[in-house]
Homo-oligomer: A and B are copies of this chain.
Amino acid sequence: MLKTIGVIGGNVCSKEIADIAFKVGERIAKNGAILVCGGLGGVMKAAAKGAKSAGGTTIGILPTQTKKDANPYIDIPIVTGMSIARNVIVVRSSDAVIAIDGRYGTLSEIAIALNLGIPVIGLKTWDIKAPIKIAKTPEQAVELAINYST
């Protein structure tokens, strides 16, 4: 079974953050892992685009009721219709998660991962008192995610 690395972050993001997310996605694919994300825009879209650019496989776990809401770089949409409760499934389906930027939705995913004992790698994201492994670059983030994944 292939490793699955989750990428979590906002549905809207700056160009700079999108570039970082793209590189993270690309690197996940080059490492032979599957990218798991929430399937929508912003960080999720950029990471999925990066993974596809490197020939990877992308899974988008959607909060909405139709796969039409998936961004165009998602290979496999999982349709939950469960709104923000889908965040739990994004996290649980990942062997490690990389948090990039993000606001409260991302913070909820970080907290769920910490609660469940799933490794969290942080890249320009929330600074909280918790065992998040801080990465300086996309390359380092993916390396940490691969090495610490459960």
Chain B residues near A92 (CB-CB < 8 A): 65, 79-81
Kindly specify which of A14-22, A110-118, A138-146 makes contact with the partner chain: A110-118
Q: Decide yes or no whether A53 CB sits under 8 A from chain B.
A: no
Q: How far is the CB of A2 from chain B (nearest CB, A)?
A: 7
Q: Which of B1, B104, B115 contacts A77 (CB 8 A)?
A: B1
Q: What is the total number of copies of this protein in its complex?
A: 4
Q: Which of B70, B80, B114 contacts A1 (CB 8 A)?
A: B70
Kindly specify which of A23-31, A42-50, A82-90 makes contact with the partner chain: A82-90
Q: A78-B78, A85-B88 are in contact. Are A108 and B105 (CB under 8 A)?
A: no
A1/B67 in contact, CB under 8 A? yes
Interface string of A54-82 (1 = CB under 8 A from B): 00010101000101001000111111111
**CA of A17 to CA of B82, assembled, Å:** 30
B108/A112 in contact, CB under 8 A? yes
B79/A82 in contact, CB under 8 A? no
Chain B residues near A84 (CB-CB < 8 A): 81, 88, 112, 115-116
**CA of A70 to CA of B4, assembled, Å:** 14
Q: How far is the CB of A64 from chain B (nearest CB, A)?
A: 10
Chain B residues near A7 (CB-CB < 8 A): none
